[in-house]
Amino acid sequence: MTKLKGILLTQGMHGMISQVEGLAKALDLDFTHHTVELNNFWKLIPPKITPISQKVFKKIEVKDFDVIISCGRKSVIPSIYLKKNSSKKIINIHIQDPKVDLNNFSYVIAPEHDGLTGKNVYSTKGAMHYLTKEEIDNHTNYLKDKLQSGKEYFLLILGGPTKHYDYSEGNIINIFNLYNDLITKNNLQGIIIPSMRTPKNTIDLAKNKLGEKNLVIDTVDKKAYLSALSLAKFIAVTCDSTSMISEAALTGKPIYVADIPTKKNDQRIQKFKELFHKLNITKKLDTKLETWDYEILDETSRVAKEIKKQLI
């Protein structure tokens, strides 16, 4: 059977790309990525009061598609416009709260902590993403020759500054000191992995503070990320990234959240953290390590199976 053709619309941020691509793969679509660019002052206007018009965004060159998967505020209007102006029936799926009438979309997928409800809404525990257990397992050996044999490994995944969290040198050093103490006390080797949002000075600080006995990856390297997830006995993720915490939950391994003092109300993220703690997926990074079990979280596959039933 011929695959359905999909177009993925995002602002180009890694977390958004991960979500739309993950769903597209799980739906078995033949897809292409498109980065949305809004025109002029429309960048500042909420979607709720933005007209459904081609004038709002730079033209997206695509001739034939069956499914639109969009994520993020800037992709809301292009998704609705492309669906309305297509000559055939289009399914459009938006990930995250679009902040417009939900009936503009065939399906809306939003994390449970958003509190969004509706007949076409699928709620997820945490963020959708593009990782699979098989992909993680297939990359086990990528980092092996860079690590000490006979050791167990503790992975630290670094996010980056947001409007909620301040990546000041002092805040990051506090995390590195706590992490290093745990590595030393438990005779582990650390693996430090940056993300696209991690500032260079944070990576340099990791190399200076942790690089002597631990492996610090200093570039964005998906294979290294997958390999580290596979090899690690323990995982710590900085609190700013719900997407990377959700990705780590695919492993079933103990996940510690490394807190950073807030500089702005982070109520949504706090709800996410409370949910994952309640599900026994995460604990706060502190002065001791322990192991525990939880049900592996794969919300992308779960939601895709539900939507596939509607597509058949």
pLDDT of residue 131: 94
pLDDT band at 246 (very low <50, low <70, confident <90, very high): very high
Asked whether this chain's domains 5-125+300-311 and 133-284 adopt the same fold, the reply is: yes
From the candidate CATH numbers 3.40.50.2000, 1.20.1730.10, 3.40.50.1100, 3.40.50.970, the one assigned to the domain spanning 133-284: 3.40.50.2000
Q: Which fold has domain 5-125+300-311?
A: Rossmann fold (3.40.50)
pLDDT of residue 113: 81
pLDDT of residue 191: 98
User: φ, ψ for residue 220 (rounded to 5)?
Assistant: -75, 115
- Per domain, the residue ranges of the chain are 5-125+300-311, 133-284
* pLDDT tens digits, one per residue of 57-81: 999 988 899 999 999 999 999 999 9
Tokens of 18: 């991960």
Statement: residue 312 has pLDDT above 70: no
Closest CA to 257 of 17, 248, 266: 248
- d(CA 75, CA 104) in angstroms, rounded, equals 13
- d(CA 287, CA 275) in angstroms, rounded, equals 22
**Residue whose structure tokens are 């900085």:** 238
- d(CA 305, CA 312) in angstroms, rounded, equals 11
Mean pLDDT of 100-122: 94
Between CA 241 and CA 216, with CA 167 as vertex, the angle to 5 degrees is 75
Residues 262-271 as b or e (16 or more Cβ within 10 Å = b): beeebeebeb
**Model confidence, pTM:** 0.90
Closest CA to 251 of 290, 286, 223, 293: 293
Residues counted in the chain:
312
**Residue whose structure tokens are 């990528």:** 142
- d(CA 96, CA 85) in angstroms, rounded, equals 23
Statement: residue 53 has pLDDT above 80: yes
- d(CA 189, CA 201) in angstroms, rounded, equals 22
Statement: residue 282 has pLDDT above 80: yes
- d(CA 130, CA 277) in angstroms, rounded, equals 23
Tokens of 213: 């006995």
Q: How far is CA 127 from the centre of its chain?
A: 6
